[in-house]
């Protein structure tokens, strides 16, 4: 089934009557924004492909000293 020019004009007029001009403009604007965001997301590389960052912490330098001090405190009691 092929739509002719009169059918397309009739559909546009009916849509304008049902939704109104201002609401139709808002729908078009949000649709354009959605398409733009979608294209940006498609063109940006995935973050999953990036190598993981090294988040390991270095051990504290005085760990041995604090362990010995806590043992000494435990033996005093």
Residue with tokens 């999953």, as numbered in its chain: 48
Both tokens assigned to 38: 């979608």
Domain extents in the chain: 20-44
Mean pLDDT, the chain, as a whole number? 77
Report residue 73's pLDDT band, with 50, 70 and 90 as the boundaries: low
Question: Region 30-42: what's the mean pLDDT?
Answer: 93
* pLDDT value of position 10: 94
Q: Does residue 17 contact residue 9 with C-beta atoms inside 8 Å?
A: no
């Amino acid at each position: 089934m092929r739509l002719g020019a009169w059918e397309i004009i009739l559909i546009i007029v009916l849509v304008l009557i049902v939704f109104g001009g201002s609401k139709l403009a808002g729908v078009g604007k949000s649709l354009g924004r959605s398409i733009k965001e979608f294209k940006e997301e498609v063109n940006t590389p995935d973050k999953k492909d990036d190598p993981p960052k090294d988040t390991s912490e270095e051990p504290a330098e005085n760990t041995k000293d604090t362990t010995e001090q806590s043992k000494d405190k435990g033996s005093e009691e």
